[in-house]
Amino acid sequence: MADEAAGGKTASGMTRAVVSPMAYRSEHKPTWCPGCGDFGVLNAIYRAMADLRARPENFVIVSGIGCSSRLPEFVNAYGFHSVHGRLLPIATGIKLARPELEVLAVGGDGDGLAIGGNHFMHAARRNVDIAYVMMDNAVYGMTKGQPSPTSDMGMVTKASPYGVLEQPINPAALAIAFGGTFVARGYSGKPRDLEALIVSAISHKGFAFVHVVSPCVTFLDAFDYWQANTVEVEAHDPEDRSEAFRIASITDKTRLGVFYQREEETLDEKYEGLRDRALIAGRLKVEDFIREYQ
Amino acid sequence: MQVNSAMVALTGESGDGIISLGEILAKVLARMGINIVTFRTYPAEVRGGQCIFTINSQQDQVFSQGDEYDILLCMDSSAYTLNSNRLRSTSVLLYNSESVPQEQIREVSYGIPVRSLTASTGLARSRNVLMLGVISKLFNVDMKEIKAVLSERWGKSQDIIKRNLDALMAGHDWAAANLIKKDGFRFESVDAPRRIVLSGNEAICLGAVGAGCRFFSGYPITPASDLLEWLMDRLPKVGGVAIQVEDEISAFGAALGASYSGVRSMTATSGPGLALMTEFVNLAGTAEIPIVVVDVQRAGPSTGMPTKTEQSDLSHAALGGPGEAPRIVIAPTSVEDCFYQTMRAFNLADKYQLPVILLSDQSLSHRLEAIPMLDPARVPVSSPKRPTPEDLKHYRRYLRTEDGVSPMSIPGVVGGAYVATGIERDEVGMPSYDPENHQLNMRKRQKKLERAAIEDAEFEQYGVEDARIGIISWGSTTGAVREAVQLAVSRRLKVTSLHPKLLFPPPKQRIGEWLSKLRDVIVVEVNQTGQYQHILQAEFGRIMDSLHKATGLPFTAGEILAKVEEVAKHGR
């Protein structure tokens, strides 16, 4: 399987030959409900990997827990399907330990904004060079329909019989506020646009966040709403953080596209620099440290 | 005259420089060829509250932090009130004569007017080093070595080193002019092979580097923050990565990610942090990814007493977690052992592809010992089990092998891609809820512990062969037990002690053989509920006696000896 996707290797670790998105499908068939928005995201990821000629052996997909977090099992690449909300610490560790690897984190809104919310803030502010695709269906699907951090106020579910009392979170606006250097929003109903956003996110040097509206057909079927209420983002300066925040926050017609993009030194690059300085006098050994205690 | 054998206690307010004074004096004595074990206890706050730094110095070997004080320094009256009950009739007291009321003092003593002395020379901030000058003069501590250690400690700043050398001389000269020797303690340099002086925390860091650990992630917590600080500085110098992250969950996650990528990785914390990591411990166990977790235990529960010691995370380390996944728990017994057990921890984690939790504690973390030069070659770094080209033709990450360990691929290996997961899976790594598959995998993972209990049962043993009374203890308590056994044997009591390094799984055969010859067994540990006692009783089906305490302080040899004598007299 891996060999089908691999062609002539280039310096950047990508292949030159044209590869089919099919090459990135694993033998494991998705377990999602028919019509789930996450199929659109998975297909966009296959296509993006093909566009980038990604080598499966150098590509790691990390996830937490939830319907969308099953995604690594459906892709022909290295994967880490971890515990609830902890995808970003694992992805950070992989990238810092092996900066040459391409690291993609995927998960849902509950995973990334509720139980894992703390890690979102810190992964973004570190500007670690990973891409993070959050599939937002505004509901806990795997546990059968409880409200999530992005559910609308007033939403009635079995776990919110009197309606949700809290304000919903805007994940893209948060990512901009946290210091993410690439922030975009896509929609699973527009897979070609989403493919392009994922390609840009993976290609971006730094913490790249793609908020994907990915409706749940079973517990909160909102396809018709999103079909009618999403529009392309208007032209603006992508390096203007305030403007990006404003656009990401518009609610009458939800904007899709790249809100913010700015090149800044990444954590892994900074660490490389730090290490070069630390190694200036040559690489030390444990014996050198032991001698400090004479 | 008592030469080179004295229990020295330095006491005063936090902020008096007691810890620095103790560290310097300990290092100087060690360089004079004298054996030392130190202990420190201090408040959690940065300023205020009483500090005690003790140095148990002996011409011969010394294994514990000692008990009653021979030489007591009190920087103020509170220090005197708190500590004077631990003096014996032969002890000597050095005290701040401007703070401690002299009418209270009964002991052989020397009053030092600290404020006047430091005010006249403008050395208030170096009052600890001034006292070192007095100590040097009174007890013949080598001035040349003191100056060398001061220079190494503060050599980067000419101002600070000058101020401290001035303070040292001021104390020394004042003592020479004003004090007449009337006590019986004295230090003399002896010929001894050059040793190193370091703490348990430092030895763990060195062990990690020696074992090839090249990734560390951590979050500050007393008393484990030293590891974070040390490794943040040193790991880049060996080409590794160290990072401070947002919490202990992230610390474990980042280290696990790095280890998944093929880099030897570690995190370090204390009890509250281990509690946060617990879900991850069992992910590592079931996903079969090696990782080393250091838990420098402190007095709980919850926040408890963060700067005091306890051995109370054992049950949690051994058994805590969602469901049943394998992990190994080991405990080093001394500063030297911190180095070698940490090196071993990495080999064990790699060998069995699981988390290894290393249990140290506050008393060991900050204990200084003078030990022989460490030799990393004593624990050769092992190689992980990676897939062969044959394995990669149809790679099965979770292949159920004879020994329970499957070849682990890492990113970059063509044909080795798999999904590491906490969800139950088949041999390839794809989710499976098949009943028989789950049972086979549970069995496979458990098999590793059965092997570890036989193959990796390292231990220390002391006392006599034909003993009827046995003491079993673990971790930092070992030194005090060892001294208690020596004392008991010198009183013709037939006593033995066993100190397994592998706490969980319990090394069944090794401990079983030892137990079979004994009439009475005492389990000694610093906690309230007898956690190791319960593990052992469950494993060996035998009721054991327990000596436990939860005061925040380590055991003394005297406390253990008293228990042994009681058992010897009355039976259990």
- Domain assignment present for residue A122? The answer is yes
pLDDT for residue B107: 80
Contact A61, A133 (CB under 8 A): no
Q: Which two tokens stand for residue B525?
A: 């540990």
The CATH number of the domain holding residue A190 is 3.40.50.970
- 3-class DSSP assignment, residue B374: coil
* Total Cβ atoms within 10 A of residue B572: 12
Within an 8 Å CB–CB cutoff, is residue A90 touching chain B? yes
The reply to whether A278 falls in a domain is no
Number of other residues whose CB lies within 10 A of the CB of residue A27: 10
Looking at residue B412, its pLDDT comes to: 98
Check if A82 contacts B (Cβ < 8 Å): yes
Please say whether the beta carbons of B116 and B130 come within 8 A. Answer: no
Say how many CB pairs under 8 Å bridge A and B. 181
Between CA B197 and CA B206, with CA B200 as vertex, the angle to 5 degrees is 80
The per-type count for chain B, helices as H runs and strands as E runs, is 19, 23
pTM over 0.90? The answer is: yes
Structural domain contains residue B352? yes
State which H helix or E strand residue B446 sits in: helix B435-455
Residues with Cβ within 8 Å of A36's Cβ and at least 6 positions away in sequence, in order, are: A67, A214, A216, A217, A218
Bridge partners of B39? B54
Say if the Cβ atoms of B265 and A96 lie within 8 Å.
no
The reported pLDDT for the residue numbered B41 is 87
DSSP classification of residue A105: E
Whether A272 is covered by a domain: the verdict is no
B198 touches chain A (CB under 8 A): yes
Do residue B232 and residue B342 come from a single domain?
yes
Tens of pLDDT, residue by residue over B143-187, are 999 999 999 999 888 999 999 999 999 999 999 999 999 999 999
- Any CB–CB contact under 8 A between A252 and chain B? no
Q: For all residues of chain B together, what is the average pLDDT?
A: 95
Judged by CB atoms closer than 8 Å, whether chains meet at A73 and B421 is answered as yes
Residue B195 lies in a domain: no
Nearest to B62 by CA among B488, B482, B402: B482
pLDDT at B572 over 60: no
Domain limit, last residue, from B325, B344, B378: B378
What residues make up the domain containing B309? 201-378
Closest CA of chain A from B149, distance in Å: 10
Q: For residue B267, give the chain A residue with the closest CA.
A: A93
Asked whether residue B439 falls in the same domain as residue B504, the answer is no
The rounded mean pLDDT for chain A is 94
The answer to whether A81 contacts chain B (CB < 8 Å) is yes
Query: Is B194 contained in some domain?
Result: no
For residue A17, name the pLDDT band (cuts at 50, 70, 90).
low
Q: Which residue in A76, A119, A122 is closest to B417 by CB distance?
A: A76
Decide if A294 and B238 are in contact by the 8 Å CB cutoff.
Answer: no
pLDDT at B529 > cutoff 70: yes
Tell me the backbone φ, ψ of residue B255, rounded to 5 degrees. Answer: -65, -35
pLDDT of A224 strictly over 60: yes
User: Best residue in A49, A81, A276 to probe B by mutation, most B CBs within 10 Å?
Assistant: A81
* Cβ neighbourhood burial of B164 (10 Å; 0-12, 13-18, 19+): buried
B300 belongs to a structural domain: yes
Domain-located, residue B54: yes
| pLDDT value of position A6 | 40
Q: What is the pLDDT of residue B14?
A: 85
ipTM of the complex: 0.95
Q: Is residue A97 part of a domain?
A: yes
Q: Is the pLDDT of residue B44 over 80?
A: no
DSSP state at residue B265:
E
The pLDDT of B65-78, averaged and rounded, is 95
Which of A76, A121, A293 has the CB atom closest to B198's CB atom?
A293
Partner-chain contact A73 B430, CB within 8 Å: yes
Distance CA B149, CA A110 (A): 56
Nearest CA in chain A to B255: A93
**Same domain, residue pair B174 and B147:** yes
B272: domain CATH number is 3.40.50.970
CATH label of the domain that carries residue B546: 3.40.50.920
Asked, for residue A224, whether it belongs to a domain, the answer is yes
Interface test with A, best of B38, B265, B419, B423 (most A CBs within 10 A): B419
> Number of structural domains, chain B?
4
The verdict on B231 touching A (C-beta cutoff 8 Å) is no
The average pLDDT across B363-378 equals 97
Confirm whether A90 is domain-assigned: yes
**Strand partners for B62:** none
pLDDT attached to residue B332: 98
Whether A284 maps to a domain, the answer reads: no
**What confidence tier does B48 reach under pLDDT thresholds 50, 70, 90?**
low
Of B196, B250, B251, the CB nearest to A294: B196
Question: Which pLDDT belongs to residue A5?
Answer: 40
Give me the residues paired with residue A216 across strands: A220
- CB-based contact (8 Å) between B364 and chain A? no
Do B97 and B33 fall within a single domain? yes
A290, B196: Cβ pair inside 8 Å?
yes
Would you call A153 an interface residue with chain B, using a CB distance cutoff of 8 Å?
Answer: no
Hey, is the C-beta of A9 within 8 angstroms of any chain B C-beta? no
Give pLDDT, residue B456: 86
State whether B205 and B252 are in the same domain.
yes
List, in order, residues 6 or more apart from B74 with CB less than 8 Å away.
B11, B12, B80, B83, B84, B93, B94, B95, B96, B100
Give the one of B214, B280, B415 whose C-beta lies nearest to A83's C-beta. B280
- Integer angstrom CA distances of residue A289 from B160, B195, B376, B518, B566: 25, 14, 12, 44, 46
Close Cβ partners of A86 (under 8 Å, ≥ 6 residues apart): A64, A116, A119, B249, B250, B253, B280
| Closest Cβ opposite residue A122 in set B198, B246, B261 | B246
The reply to whether omega before B223 is within 30° of 0 (cis) is yes
Find out whether A131 and A181 touch, Cβ atoms under 8 Å.
Answer: no
- Counted domains in chain A: 1
User: Is the CB of A235 inside 8 Å of chain B's CB atoms?
Assistant: no
Find the mean pLDDT for residues A41-49: 98
User: Residues B460, B493: contact at Cβ < 8 Å?
Assistant: no
Residue B118: pLDDT band (50, 70, 90) is: confident
**What CATH number is given to the structural domain containing B131?**
3.40.920.10
Interfacial B residues in 280-339 facing A (CB < 8 Å):
280, 283, 287
- pLDDT tens digits for range B380-433: 999 999 999 999 999 999 999 999 999 999 999 999 999 999 999 999 999 999
**pLDDT, tens only, A76-93:** 999 999 999 999 999 999
Tell me, yes or no, if A73 comes closer than 8 A to chain B by beta carbon: yes
Domain end: B455, B472, B496, which one? Answer: B455
Please give the full DSSP string across A11-39, using - where no structure is assigned: TTS-BSS---GGGGB-SSPP-SPTT-HHH
Quote the domain boundaries for residue A178. 2-266
What is the per-residue pLDDT for B43? 74
Q: Is B384 within a domain?
A: no
Q: Is residue A156 part of a domain?
A: yes
| CA distances (Å), origin B140, targets B113, B157, B209 | 21, 28, 38
The number of angstroms, rounded, from the C-alpha of A248 to the middle of its chain's C-alpha atoms is 17
User: CA-to-CA distance for B307 and B297, rounded, in angstroms?
Assistant: 10
Q: Are A83 and B412 a contacting pair at CB < 8 A?
A: no
Query: In the listed set B154, B186, B218, which residue is the last one of a domain according to the structure?
Result: B186
Answer yes or no: do A93 and B254 touch at CB < 8 A: yes
DSSP B191-225: -----EEEEHHHHHHHHHHHTT--EEEE---TTTH
Q: Could you read off the pLDDT of B198-211 as tens digits, one per residue? A: 999 999 999 999 99
A107 touches chain B (CB under 8 A): no
